[in-house]
Amino acid sequence: VATLVAARPAQATEIRTVARTLGEGYMVRVPGPEGALLSRRRLVQYVNLGVYDLLQPRGADERRRAHDDGQLRIVTSMRVRHDFGSYAREGSTLGPRLVGSLDGRQIDVMFAYLEAENLKGMIDLRAGRQFEMSGLDWYAFDGAWVRLRTPIHLGVEAFGGFQVDGSALFGFPTAELDGTADTPADRSRSPMVGAAVSAVGLKWVDARLAYRRTFSPLAVNRNVTNDDGSLGLPSAVDQEVVSLTVAGRLADGRLSPYASGRYNVGTGRLDDVSAGMQIAYTDKHLLRLFYLRTRPMFDLDSIFNVFAQQAFEDARLVYQVGLGTKWTVAARAQTRFFRDQATLLGSQPDRRVRVGAGGGATVNFRVRRFSARVDGFGLGGEGGLRAGANVDTRTMILWDRLAIDARLYAVKYRDEINAARDGYSVALQAGINAQLWRGVHLAVLGEEMFTSYYSQAFRVFGALTADWTLRVGR
């Protein structure tokens, strides 16, 4: 309401509201003599509100202010969850215990910020709770980010604030589970600062060099006794990272290399590397090479830094070709590397490098009112073997207002370590996706699953979405 009132003076303000209600429920009967029946139901409500075009157009004949003239907007999103049935527990102590949920979180302010774009032709700004998704990390923080674009296609950025606490969505332990969830440290907000330089508006390259330092929160250490007997520990560096990202567009777009790397200054490790190359030598043919090497990043005072010795390492290859306008075929190969090492516990690895290899193929067919996608895959050498196939179909009826979804997922897996974990699962899904009105959609999906783990498993999912945009004051 406050936003609506605030928006009233602007003559061309656009307001977008999104209300989404998701419901989910499932029942699982556990094998064994008890045959316990687990049931769970969940209700999730998203409320997004955006107030756009806060600045009026300069020209009398303009419906919307030109991009070059700059613009202000407010973007917010909130989520409320409630879990019923098994595994529910009381909500977090951070706020009123309104609802129960599986993980203690109940109300998430996902993001809420004021954004300024292209002010004075050179300044971009965001203030409030926001995400940063970049080579540095993917996390949320409360604070400000500002970028100054210079005439030489170089942007200078600065940002700072507090990382959201670990109990919130995209709080640090949530994105990278470090095993210390729900501790006082997770519920404290860590001060952080950062800076970056980036290439802006170049046809051939997009690049960014960024730095971020996070400090341990004082609130956590206030009641901790130091080694010398004093009470309270000073704040110190908790995370310190540098990232470099580059994406290029070469040979008229036929070659698109990209790479990102993150160096953890605190641990002295290059803990995240991804590099890829897309070769699109025609509009119908595509070849992609992709290498990924990453390891989790923890606060520097986390004991889990001692575990993080081996990275998750993948090399992938994808080739896709379009056959006419209806058919698309893709093949995929994947290799995962496991690098073992000797330990002082006396264990010697059989091999220094273990390789898990796999691949798959996909065929997609689509016409005016029907589409089908068939996937087949097999992955081995990762402590077992997994092979399976998926079929996804969608059929549009009733003047495209109703979509009927039918899907089949089958997978069989064999565990080389524990034979008891060998198994299979076959899941049949059927559902609808209906456009009830302009901007109002309803999706319902049910799944019956046959698996070697559960005697019986059924789940149903529903989503009702109302997505509206209206302009006020004009």
Partner 1 sequence: MTMRSSLVLIALLLAFALGMIATAGGGLTQAERPATTPVMHGPMRGGSPVYPEQDLPLRFNHGQHLALKIDCKRCHTKIDSSTQVADFNFPTGATCDGCHGAQHPRPASEPARCDMCHTRTTQGPDPAGTVMRVAATIRAPKANLSFNHKSHLARGASCQTCHGDMSKVRLATVLQLPAENTCLTCHNGIKATDRCGACHPTDGSGKVVTRSFSDRVAPQLVPRGQSSWGATHDLAFVEDHRGIAKSSPQLCQQCHDETFCTDCHAGAVKPMRIHSGDYLTHPRARRPRADPGLSVLPPPPERLPGVPPAPRPRQHGARREVRRRLAAAVPPARLGRAADAPQSHAFAAQRNIADVRELPHRGQCLACHATSSGASPAASTSARTAPASRARCAARRSRPQSPRVLEMS
C-alpha 389/C-alpha 372 separation (Å) is 13
Pick between residue 60 and residue 203 the one whose CB is nearest to partner 1. Answer: 203
Q: Using the rule CB under 8 A, is 460 a contact of partner 1?
A: no
Q: Which of residues 147-186 bind partner 1 (CB under 8 A)?
A: 153, 169-170, 174-181, 183-185
Smallest separation, CB 258 to partner 1 (Å): 4
Amino acid identity, position 360: G
**Which residue from 86, 154, 359, 456 is in contact with partner 1, where contact means CB under 8 A?**
86
What character string, x for contact with partner 1 (CB under 8 A) and - otherwise, covers 333-352? -----xxxx-xxx-x-x---
Q: What is the DSSP string of 263-293?
A: EETTTTEEEEEEEEEEE-SSSSEEEEEEEEE
DSSP 8-state secondary structure symbol assigned to residue 89: B
CA 387/CA 92 separation, integer angstroms? 40
74 with 2: CB under 8 angstroms?
A: no
* Joined tokens for residue 65: 């202010």
What's the closest the beta carbon of residue 160 comes to partner 1, in angstroms?
19
CA dist., res. 20 & res. 439, Å (int): 11
The residue assigned the tokens 């220094």 is 352
Say how far residue 230 (Cα) sits from the centre of its chain. 42
Considering only residues 357 through 386, tell me which ones interact with partner 1, judged by CB under 8 A.
362, 364, 366-371, 373, 379, 382-384, 386
Tell which one of 257, 376, 378, 473 touches partner 1 (CB under 8 A): 257
Single out the residue of 425, 430, 456, 460 in contact with partner 1 (rule: CB under 8 A).
425
Residue of 47, 119, 154, 195 that binds partner 1 (CB under 8 A): 47
Contact in structure between 153 and 200 (CB atoms under 8 Å): yes
Contacts to partner 1 from residues 208-237, by CB under 8 A: 216, 220-221, 224, 226-227, 233-234, 236-237
User: Shortest distance, CB of residue 223 to partner 1, whole angstroms?
Assistant: 8
Nearer to partner 1, 93 or 310 (CB): 310
Query: Quick one: 335 or 364, whose CB is closer to partner 1?
Result: 364
At position 112, the amino acid (one-letter code) is A
Quote the least distance from Cβ 241 to partner 1, whole Å: 11
| C-alpha radius of gyration, the chain, whole number | 26
For the CB of residue 474, give the shortest distance to partner 1 in the complex, in Å. Answer: 11
Tokens of 423: 């198994």
Structure-token match 């009641």, residue found: 223
Q: In the range 6-45, which residues lie near partner 1 by CB under 8 A?
A: 14, 16-22, 24, 26, 28, 30, 32, 34, 36, 38, 40, 42-45
Contact 329, 321 (CB under 8 A): yes
